[in-house]
Structure 1
């Protein structure tokens, strides 16, 4: 009986102490909860995204040859890496082409307007001194993918708070730095004011406005590389089976011209191979630990830049043939 009399007033007291106002200070919502709820109340972006950039969107601009058509795809072309319904361009398996007529002249005029007057020597020297050092916080690393589509967004993000960005290039793209410089300037609209080996400084322009930056839809994943025709045939064109076998054995048994490292700097490889093929019929490059995929990419670039003929990729060794030399006919005196 005493227990019952004691518990009844206690329950009555507790019931009166609970406030009916949910926003009473002891029972108010925490600020963290309010912030998380506000994130979900943000208006979604207008889809599909529309971009006025006058070039076809693709994963890599510097490492892709539009003239070489793939023979097959590893995934269906209907799966766009930009996401379903997020871009007003159709994905073809290798690129997202422009859907409307592009006024290239107007694009060049806008680019020149943003760049403004050319920088003076003193202004260039100040920018180079500020951004050329290895401890620069405004740096973008370019790997074997080269100038990728998402790299353009990274450049504009740096340009929000910095006049220029330092770009460090490594791997296969460094075989052709002219190609890297062209695509950086052409796709971003900036100007390269410094180039030393594999280090570049890309300037945004005098009249760059971060609020009016171009619309660059991001790739949500890396698309699978398509299947291209075979690079090296069993019998090299213009040679017999026996001569092809002889050249391959000669290259494998020869002393390597160079030893390439993984993600190295290959800016001098083209010139050295070109000079060596003036006196040698075949040249071998030791690419141990570089990787089979990178070896083939190196061979393709050397084929076009030297030029030469890749005749063997084996055990991360590249054998290059200088091709059939054109015999000049003596002129009649």
Structure 2
């Protein structure tokens, strides 16, 4: 069998048969399947040249985590605060009487964009819109403030209650304390005071640095902005009482400032030449001022409550007074000089309604209003004067003669040199806060009053409490 198979020759197909075979396979490959089924082969079945190979697409990186921002207030309404006063960064170191001559930045609200329903003017956020406000609205706001404070305070404390609260706020009893420093009473500090009032009826406040030059202003602003009452003061140490009817859950809404706004541009404190003197006389006075003995040396973050009486007493015998401020920041002793000028020229004017001085005679009555608040013109609120068609020149001459007997000479070499002026007259009136202030009332605690009278001592309120100023 093997031989039979091996001897057989290989059969060769004819050429026509091979042609027929190839033609049928080609026809089958190029049949009507493409048109009938609309078949499209995937890219993986198509032959690709090695030159056209592409790298696979990279996976997109995951976005980095961003914490929620307080500036993103999409869909939220602005806060509405019912506090009846203008919002400022500092209530003790800024004044509504002195108008700035320019701003250092655009009017961006420090409360955040769209977070407060008040307009930021670059200096403050007024409670009454300046574009639509009126004097009647300001009177209404003042009345609301007075009524709210009386409602929260309730009946006054007795002497025994006051002494118990003061004793509870001493350093050896509690560590809770609010520090009032270079910037004075700031807006966010109001929130700190209310947070302390959650846990105790009174809070200890320690005042240091520039604001202590005018402690009366500090006490007034604290009581006015917090609706509380100061029940104890020893130097720069205060105890602020919240009131009998204060409820922590009904505390006012205080929007916080997210950053410190830039201070506006104010007129220069020291001019090239002093009014009434020539250039040579001004230079000579500055040399003499730097050569006179220093009245006192101010310590950094110290208590300056006795500085104004010292300068007033020195003006009785000396024409120039020098205050040594070495070690203090330049902005600090400039603020002290500005406060000295304002404090030394200030007089106590009652909040009454009166007439306006003018060259046309005394009294002078306006064409629109018969009575205008007297202190508005004393403290330089000239916008109201212009509104009533009064000559500004006559009023400025009158006010300068009465309000500027003290002139700043120089701030060179970290010194404050003050000149009392040519026509200086010592002020007979004026109110200065003593080192300790009595807060006792003779009508309360009659038994204690009788006991103290028997011992020959009156009620002065000068209890020996540890103030903590020696630290």
TM-score by length of 1: 0.82
- The 1:67/1:295 distance shift into structure 2, 3 A limit, reads same
- Secondary structure of the corresponding residue to residue 193 of structure 1: strand
The aligned runs of 1:1-333 (5 Å cut-off) are: 47-77=77-107, 79-99=108-128, 101=137, 102-133=140-171, 136-307=174-345, 308-326=406-424
Once the two structures are superposed, residues 211-243 of structure 1 have per-residue CA deviations (whole angstroms, 9 ceiling, x without a partner) of 111111000000011111111001001112222
> Aligned partners of 2:144, 2:266: CA distance in 1, in Å?
36
Q: Which has the larger radius of gyration?
A: 2
SS of corresponding position for 1:207: coil
CA drift of 1:253 comes to 1.0
Aligned-residue offset at 1:246: 1.5
Q: Is the 8 A contact 2:207 2:236 kept in 1?
A: yes
For residue 249 of structure 2, give the secondary structure of its aligned residue in structure 1: helix
1:45: Cα distance to partner? 10
Q: Deviations over 1:183-226 (max 9, x none)?
A: 00000000000011100000001111111111110000000111
Extract unaligned runs of 5+ from structure 2: 1-72, 130-136, 346-405, 427-471
**1:81/1:223 contact within 8 Å kept:** yes
Deviation string for 1:35-80 (max 9, x for gaps)?
xxxxxxxx99953000111111010011101121111211111x11
Whole-Å Cα distance in 2 between the matches of residues 128 and 303 of structure 1? Answer: 34
Report Cα offsets for 1:105-133 as digits up to 9, x if no partner: 24322321211111000000101111133
Residue 30 of structure 2 corresponds to which residue in structure 1? Answer: none
Q: Write the distance in 2 (CA, Å) between the matches of 1:222 and 1:105.
A: 30
Give the whole-Å Cα distance in 2 for the aligned partners of 1:132 and 1:193: 13
Measured after TM superposition, the shift of residue 104 of structure 1 is 3.1
Give the total of aligned pairs.
Answer: 286
Q: Residue 90 of structure 1 aligns to a residue in which SS? A: coil
Q: Secondary structure at the match of 1:257?
A: strand
Tell me the distance in 2 between the aligned counterparts of 1:316 and 1:292. 7
Q: Relative to structure 1, is the Cα distance of residues 282 and 121 closer, same or farther in structure 2, using a 3 angstrom cutoff? A: same
What displacement does 1:325 show? 2.0
Structure 1 residues 313 and 134: alpha-carbon distance in aligned structure 2, compared to 1, 3 A threshold: farther
When normalised by structure 2's length, the TM-score is 0.58
Task: Give, in whole Å, the separation in 2 of the partners of 1:150 and 1:247.
Answer: 43
Partner SS state of residue 80, structure 2: coil
Alpha-carbon distance, 1:134 to partner: 6.5
Contact 2:215-2:305 at 8 Å conserved across structures = yes
